[in-house]
Amino acid sequence: MAGFRVFTSNRMERLVEGLAGELKEPLLSPLDPEVVVVQSQGMEKWLSMELAGRMGICANFRFPFPRALVDSLLDAVIPEASVDDPYNPETMTWRIMRLIPGLLDDPAFSSLRKYLHGECSSLRFYQLSRRISAAFDQYLVFRAEMVLSWDQGKEDHWQAVLWRKLGKDAGGRPHRASLAVRFIDAMSEDRPVNFPHRISLFGISTMPPLYLNILYAASAKTTINLFLMSPCREYWGDIVSHRKAAQIVGRASLKEGEGDPDLHIGGENSILASTGEAGREFIDALMELPLAEETELFEEPEGASMLSRLQSDILNLKERGEGSCAKITVPAADLSIRINSCHSPVREMEVLQDILLDMFEKDRGINPGDVLVMMPDIETYAPFINAVFDLPVGDPRKIPYRVADRSSAHDRLAVDT
């Protein structure tokens, strides 16, 4: 049955169980692949292994990224969408580089003239063009309405003028935002022939508005199942951090217990308020859509460790020390949450190695495959990971590991030489 369905949980394992349960319902054709959208190659590998463990096999699956899925949906409905895109960032960079010199005398481009400072070398033009191209690419998915208004001749600043020049240079070829409008209109017609019968999205924490609109429109002709991780079972779309609240009300700081009650300051979990902005915006966008079905798969954390209590407080939107939710004393032996201050990335890896070896020694039920190590920049840390963990066979400190989600440019070192 067509429709947009959302399954929400604070546990990835519960979401996998929910996905496996939905996949038991066979597709109309046994030759059709299951389409499961993920955000990283690491998630693809982990999810395929988890599904194989629950279903016995994981075969004839496609794991596209969100952009690849959107492209395939557009291709199925709009034939010209599959033609070489003049608006992809690489192509657009060179087109912008070719157009800018002829536009610098335009008064609207005075800021660019000042930026260039008379330096008109090819390298300078290329660097500028690449940054503009990257910005335009983001506009197409995050500010589609603005781009469409530029197409209509609105705004006279240099970005709008340059964008219209790009459109004319492309011979009127459609871009992603205009294709989305045509796609949404087409969903009121007959179902496209090559349309997937079921699409699952797993572990997607946020999504550009353009993609969400396309997927929601597609749910009129196919089943869209979104398996969403959310740390909180309560509505938390209107909570803000104290710093953000101070900016909103125009004060430099907020004393404890003060603030506009409409901003829900002081009663909700401060960790969630200060770190969950991206997820909060995505959940708010979902709540604005009429959903076919909403299923909650939340699970109360077990145990009395500091980590379990913290997870429970976030899940139930509680703040320790506020009202009836009193603070608790954490035993000194509780190491469920640790903060290790290290003087270098190499030392971070060495401390991590020691912690993992100690954990495997104390708990034989934990395997290396049960451990996920996350970091803000995998490209920076990858050499240090290999330096510390890539030990010879037979070394008692050797831990099997795999570095996921490295970019192709770093896999092919010749690119950087």
pLDDT tens-digit series, residues 39-48:
988 899 999 9
Count Cβ atoms within 10 A of the Cβ of residue 132 and give its class: 0-12 exposed, 13-18 middle, 19 or more buried: buried
Q: Give the pLDDT band of residue 55 (cuts 50, 70, 90).
A: very high
331 lies in a domain? no
Amino acid at 322: E
Residue 202 has a pLDDT of 97
Asked if the structure places residue 160 within a domain, the reply is: yes
Answer whether residue 288 is part of any domain. no
306 within some domain: no
Is residue 14 located within the same domain as residue 139? no
pLDDT digits (tens, 9 = 90+) for 132-164: 999 999 999 999 999 999 999 999 999 999 999
| Least confident among 80-84, 313-317, 399-403 | 80-84
Position 34 scores a pLDDT of 96
Classify the C-alpha dihedral 127-131-137-140 as positive or negative. Answer: negative
In a domain, 138, yes or no: yes
Element (H, E) at 201: strand 198-202
Whether residue 138 is found in the same domain as residue 197: no
Within a domain: residue 283? no
Residues 254, 225: contact at Cβ < 8 Å?
Answer: no
Same domain, 191 and 68: yes
CATH number assigned to the domain comprising residue 59: 3.40.50.10930
Q: Read off the pLDDT of residues 311-331 as tens digits, 9 standing for 90 and up.
A: 999 999 888 876 667 788 888
257 versus 114: the higher-pLDDT residue is: 114
The answer to whether residue 13 sits within a structural domain is yes
Same domain, 135 and 166: yes
Looking up residue 146, the CATH number of its domain turns out to be 1.10.10.160
pTM of the model: 0.83
Q: Do 189 and 76 belong to one domain?
A: yes
User: Does residue 68 sit in the same domain as residue 186?
Assistant: yes
268 to each of 139, 191, 264, 299, how far by Cα in Å?
A: 34, 45, 7, 20
Q: Convert the pLDDT of each residue in 223-260 to its tens digit.
A: 999 999 999 998 887 777 666 666 666 654 445 555 55
Looking at the structure, do residues 76 and 191 belong to the same domain, yes or no?
yes
Q: What is the number of structural domains in the chain?
A: 3
Q: How far apart are CA 9 and CA 385, in angstroms?
A: 31
Whether residue 238 lies inside any domain: the answer is no
Residues 57 and 76 in one domain: yes
Q: Based on the domain organization, do 188 and 154 belong to the same domain?
A: no
Hey, what are 39's tokens?
């955000």
Are 75 and 222 in the same domain? yes
- Are residues 74 and 101 both part of a single domain? no
Mean pLDDT (whole number) for 335-340: 93
Find the domain containing 103 and state its range. 87-172
| Same-domain pairing of 99 and 155 | yes
